[in-house]
């Protein structure tokens, strides 16, 4: 997709563009000096990249893996000599990387030691709705939640984060997030030594106040700030100015856009090519050679990069293609550029195996015949004209049948779309084939302004007519403002028996967990 095509111009020349750009052109209070944010050449890359500790999910005598996860406040030092109040899981900021094999039964014990209610959602995981960790599985302060499910999906880089309706943006911004790596028995020949040649990168943008605290003043969105907070400081795994020293010829990076709203376009400063090997929910059928990869909030990409002895190179986020008009794109980060991570190769590198020509991708969703179709229209703060009602079921999905979903962004602002308990394959973007890097299974996808993304979707097999999953925009200010719908999964033929109004006493309506 070009930075701004002639076709896009004619789309933008209508009423939607006028409605958005007119307030911008007359808004005297906006600080236009903020439009082009860059840290290039301004960051002192001097701190070793933090690698989140890993918890291997090994079954105990009862046949379950039972990791302890303690959600708690703390104080972090992002810049030497400064102190920042933060939240973390088993630490002061972020959480451990959970790593589990397919077939393992997981029963994490999650304790909320925060001063307010929260949740912990397993983003990208196929699991029963009662274990999903969405806004119906709230954990009260001092409370403990112990969901249970069996990992049963292909190898993938997933993640976990809070999902309390109305306050997700604050909880994630303050530091509550971590990776969840699913492994299976299919050999790949890819780099796989965690923290050595298999490196997690949780990329987040922040703003800091003069006293070192996190600035939360722009977490909401408005006509001017249509996305939510766009920070001017980049943290990777909670490290500012990170340096990674490597000793291997090939290194695998698992990149998560863990930001509230910012969209990144990752590339290297020397424009080297690299291989994309996996998307959100699993491997691609074959490696795809590119020189950049764009990720909206919640999206993941696994890449493999080749290095030569003694070299240094920067991973950078270059100005992303947001699919907007140039002026408006500048306001929402379309011209922003950030140096993210300095990578230094040792004077001699361990040789690596050749990247395989094919990968163990999940089997594609069959496209024979006509799949049932659903359509979703993304408004400014709504989906299909509705805001979420926590006691309302918006639609019902029968088990066992893949569907085609059409997601139309009816607005001139960026959105993306995340589906709980599902994997999908992008079929086309505004009628055009998706780029090769989107060939893998996903659970979150960017939906450019005034464009339509169509995908084939298949769901995890867990029927529950009383406990809903969610679909929503994963720009967190949008999600918190009500841009979310609820659905339940049921046995085929029982769709009409679902009560669309959840009673207050229902386990799915305000399910809390007390000490």
pLDDT at residue 509 is higher than 60: no
pLDDT grade for 439, boundaries at 50, 70 and 90: confident
DSSP code at position 324: S
- Going 145 to 420 to 380 to 384, the CA torsion angle's sign is negative
Contact 352, 197 (CB under 8 A): yes
Q: How far apart are CA 474 and CA 418, in angstroms?
A: 6
**Residues 6+ positions from 25 with CB-CB distance below 8 Å:** none
pLDDT grade for 404, boundaries at 50, 70 and 90: very high
Beta-strand pair 109-112/68-76: parallel
Residue with tokens 């249970």: 148
Contact 236, 242 (CB under 8 A): yes
User: Looking at 25-29, 216-220, 263-267, 458-462, which range is the least confident one?
Assistant: 25-29
C-alpha distance from residue 304 to each of 159, 241, 273, 434 (Å): 20, 22, 10, 21
Q: What is the overall mean pLDDT for the chain?
A: 90
Q: How far apart are CA 499 and CA 485, in angstroms?
A: 16
According to DSSP, the residues that pair with 374 across neighbouring strands are 405
Tokens of 97: 């990387």
pLDDT at residue 51 is higher than 60: yes
Residue whose C-alpha is closest to residue 183's, from 96, 97, 297, 110:
97
Beta-strand pair 233-236/444-447: unpaired
| The pLDDT of residue 35 | 54
429, containing H or E segment: strand 422-429
Tell me which architecture the domain covering 47-183 has in CATH: Sandwich (2.60)
468, containing H or E segment: strand 464-472
pLDDT grade for 110, boundaries at 50, 70 and 90: very high
What is the CATH T-level fold of the domain 6-34+191-350, as seen in this structure? Immunoglobulin-like (2.60.40)
**Residues 6+ positions from 399 with CB-CB distance below 8 Å:** 459, 461, 463, 489, 490, 491, 492
Phi, psi of 33 (to 5 degrees): -65, -15
Q: Which residues of 340-368 are buried (b: 16+ CB within 10 A; e: fewer)?
A: bbbbebeeebeebeebeeebebbeebeee
Quick one: 286 exposed, middle or buried, by C-beta within 10 A (0-12, 13-18, 19+)? middle
Phi, psi of 404 (to 5 degrees): -105, 125
Write out pLDDT tens, residues 188-202: 999 999 999 999 999
Tokens of 368: 């024979």
CATH 2.60.40.420 maps onto the chain at 6-34+191-350, 47-183, 373-513
DSSP code at position 176: -
Tokens of 7: 């076709």
Residue with tokens 């918890």: 55
Tokens of 280: 């959100």
Contact 373, 406 (CB under 8 A): yes
Write out pLDDT tens, residues 298-337: 999 999 999 999 999 999 999 999 998 888 888 899 999 9
User: Which CATH superfamily, name and number, covers 373-513?
Assistant: Cupredoxins -  blue copper proteins (2.60.40.420)
Residue with tokens 């959105």: 415
């Amino acid at each position: 997709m070009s930075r701004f095509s002639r076709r896009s111009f004619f789309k933008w020349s209508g009423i939607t563009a006028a409605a958005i750009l007119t307030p911008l052109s007359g808004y005297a209070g906006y600080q236009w000096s903020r439009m082009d944010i860059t840290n290039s050449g301004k960051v002192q890359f001097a701190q070793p990249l933090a690698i989140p500790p890993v918890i291997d999910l090994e079954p105990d005598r009862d046949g379950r893996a039972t990791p302890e996860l303690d959600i708690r406040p703390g104080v972090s030092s992002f810049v030497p000599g400064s102190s920042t109040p933060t939240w973390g899981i088993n630490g002061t900021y972020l959480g451990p990387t959970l790593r589990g094999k397919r077939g393992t039964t997981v029963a994490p014990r999650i304790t909320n030691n925060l001063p307010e209610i929260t949740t912990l959602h397993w983003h990208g995981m196929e699991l029963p709705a009662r274990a999903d960790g969405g806004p119906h599985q709230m954990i009260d302060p001092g409370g403990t939640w112990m969901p249970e499910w069996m990992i049963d999906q292909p190898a993938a880089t997933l993640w976990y984060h809070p999902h309390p309706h109305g306050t997700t943006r604050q909880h994630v911004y303050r530091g509550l997030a971590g990776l969840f790596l699913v492994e299976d028995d299919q050999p790949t020949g890819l780099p796989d030594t965690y923290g050595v040649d298999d490196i997690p990168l949780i990329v987040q943008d922040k703003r800091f106040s003069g006293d070192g605290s996190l600035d939360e003043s722009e977490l909401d969105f408005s006509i001017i700030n249509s996305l939510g907070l766009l920070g001017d400081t980049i943290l990777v795994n909670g490290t500012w100015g990170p340096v990674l020293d490597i000793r291997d010829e090939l290194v695998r990076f698992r990149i998560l856009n863990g930001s509230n709203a910012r969209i990144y376009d990752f590339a290297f400063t020397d424009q080297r090519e690299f291989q994309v090997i996996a998307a959100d929910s699993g491997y691609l059928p074959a490696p795809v050679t590119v020189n950049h990869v764009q990720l909206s909030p919640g999206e993941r990409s696994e890449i493999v990069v080749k290095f030569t002895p003694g070299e240094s190179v920067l991973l950078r986020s270059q100005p992303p293609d947001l699919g907007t008009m140039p002026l408006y794109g500048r306001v929402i980060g379309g011209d922003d550029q950030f140096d993210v991570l300095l990578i230094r190769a040792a004077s001699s590198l361990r040789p690596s195996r050749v990247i395989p020509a094919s990968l163990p991708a999940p089997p594609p969703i069959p496209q024979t015949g006509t799949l049932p179709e659903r359509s979703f229209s993304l408004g400014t703060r709504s989906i299909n004209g509705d805001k979420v009602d926590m006691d309302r079921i918006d639609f019902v999905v029968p088990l066992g049948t893949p569907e085609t979903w059409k997601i139309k962004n009816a607005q001139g602002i960026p959105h993306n779309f995340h589906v709980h308990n599902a994997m999908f394959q992008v079929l086309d973007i505004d009628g055009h084939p998706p780029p090769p890097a989107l060939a893998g299974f996903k659970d979150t996808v960017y939906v450019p302004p005034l464009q339509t993304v169509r995908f084939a979707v298949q769901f995890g097999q867990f029927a529950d007519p009383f406990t809903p999953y969610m679909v929503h925009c994963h720009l967190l200010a949008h999600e918190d403002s009500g841009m979310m719908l609820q659905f339940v999964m049921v046995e085929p033929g029982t769709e009409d028996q679902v009560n669309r109004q959840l009673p207050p006493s229902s386990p799915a309506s305000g399910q809390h967990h007390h000490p």
